[in-house]
Structure 1
Amino acid sequence: MHVVPDLKVLYFGTPVVVISSRNEDGTTNLAPMSSAWWLGQSCLLGLSNYSQTAANLKRDGEAVLNLPDAGLVDAVDRLALTTGRRDVPDYKRRQGYQYMPDKFAVGGLNAQPSDTVRPQRVMQCPIQLECRVVSTRAFGAPAVDATAFEVQISRTHVEEHLLIPGTSHVDPVRWDPLIMKFTEFFGEGRNVYPSRLAAGWNMPVLAREADQL
């Protein structure tokens, strides 16, 4: 029997993306997000207007979409409640967000130069997609507080072992993306790590088996 629960969150399951974008001072900001979907060589990103990433994309129009596998969940979680904005919005401060200028250091990650855009890539992410913004539109009616960015991929970088030999296709068996499902982290179909983001959003605590922590 169906019920009508008036769901507060609609994150049914999407890959986590760590977005690299360029700050005004030329440094690279990192931000984990999961409101993204792909079609052809384009991707649509949904970002809060209060984020440093949104400001950077509107100003420079360049980014790298770094796709972590499930093994990088701890690094992603360390980035979850950080922001590149010096003036942390009040609602984010209440959720536990802190300004961190060096996101690579926070996540224990390494930077490497990109080929076609200025933001740096995340070396540990096995798939990295360099891209440019081609259009934007307001998103989130009735209270519009987000922007949908359409980006076009200009170059892809993939760890060789993830490719089906002799092809330009990623092996879906070898590729185990980190998935965000209702603000919780999943990989290989199971909950793989306690989420700081879920705590920040006051989500219900999951019942986890000991071997999943």
Structure 2
Amino acid sequence: MFYRPEAGHGLPHDPFKALVAPRPIGWISTRDAEGRANLAPYSFFNGCGDNPPMVMFAQTGRKSRAEPVKDSIANIRATGEFACNIVGAALAEAMNASSGVHPAETDEFEVAGLTAVPCEAIAPPRVAEAPAVLECRLVRVIDDLPTWKPHAANIMVIGEVVGVHIRDEVLVEGRVDVLRFRPVARMGYMDYTTVEAGWEMLRPG
């Protein structure tokens, strides 16, 4: 089949997210201007540079009809900092629990039964149970991305990684072994997957 997105796909569900998959999950922790913690997962997430190391995540849609911008981005605008907590398979249910729509003052660490501990280089807390955490300072918010939905907000956040936590048990001979924690990734629809295998492939030459 072929379709033009603006004309519709004719399928029961939009296939786009199932085609751009799997997508790693950016489990973003922030603090608001009053110091209250927030934790939320974003499936539009990835690295976008390594010198310096940078990551991006994006909001698509909105928090609610009354609040077009989600708490994570509002907090990052206010403080300029966030942490990206890597989601291992053992944390999948906690990650999902933190994805609910709550009032801004809700502490999703408590909702998900997680332990919030201090970061080293930034003020927001991190998930103690995470296999790795990237502490980030804001580089740029791109908030003029196009959207087809009234009142929706497609916003991209880019952060520079200024601190990295890695649990000792996921390091094997000086390398991160992702099979030790099996990162969770988003597929299309309501589907998720984990990394279960890996292989090395060298570039020609």
Fold shared, TM-score > 0.5 on shorter chain: yes
| Letter matched to residue 30 of structure 1 | L
Question: Does the 8 Å contact 1:31/1:83 carry over to 2?
Answer: no
Structure 1 residue runs of 4+, over 4 Å off? none
Q: Residue 173 of structure 1 aligns to a residue in which SS?
A: helix
1:81 paired residue among 92, 100, 112 = 100
Displacement of 1:55 in angstroms is: 0.4
Counterpart CA distance in 2 for 1:108 and 1:175 is 19
2:169 paired residue among 156, 161, 166 = 161
Question: Does the 8 Å contact 2:133/2:166 carry over to 1?
Answer: yes
Partner of 2:58: 46
Displacement of 1:135 in angstroms is: 1.2
| Letter matched to residue 10 of structure 1 | F
Counterpart CA distance in 1 for 2:144 and 2:56 is 12
Q: Residue 156 of structure 1 aligns to a residue in which SS?
A: strand
Question: Does the 8 Å contact 2:178/2:195 carry over to 1?
Answer: no
Partner of 2:39: 30
1:178 has 2:184 as partner: yes
Q: Residue 82 of structure 1 aligns to a residue in which SS?
A: coil
* CA deviation profile, 1:12-67 (whole Å, cap 9, x unmatched): 22112211111222021111111111031101111255201110111111001001
Aligned CA RMSD, in angstroms, stands at: 2.1
- For residues 43-192 of structure 1, the aligned pairs below 5 Å read 43-48=55-60, 49-85=68-104, 101-143=106-148, 145-165=153-173, 167=174, 169-182=175-188, 183-188=190-195
Partner of 1:199: none
Which structure 1 segments of 5+ residues have no match?
86-99, 190-213
Question: Does the 8 Å contact 2:81/2:124 carry over to 1?
Answer: yes
Counterpart CA distance in 2 for 1:123 and 1:22 is 16
Question: Does the 8 Å contact 2:80/2:137 carry over to 1?
Answer: yes
Q: TM-score, normalised by structure 1?
A: 0.73
Displacement of 1:124 in angstroms is: 0.8
Percent identical: 23
Aligned residues: 172
Q: 1:151 to 1:84 in 2, by over 3 A?
A: farther
Counterpart CA distance in 1 for 2:27 and 2:178 is 20
Question: Does the 8 Å contact 2:30/2:81 carry over to 1?
Answer: yes
Which structure 2 segments of 5+ residues have no match?
61-67, 197-205
Question: Does the 8 Å contact 2:146/2:154 carry over to 1?
Answer: no
| Letter matched to residue 66 of structure 1 | N
Larger deviation, residues 129-138 vs 3-12: 3-12
Q: Residue 83 of structure 1 aligns to a residue in which SS?
A: coil
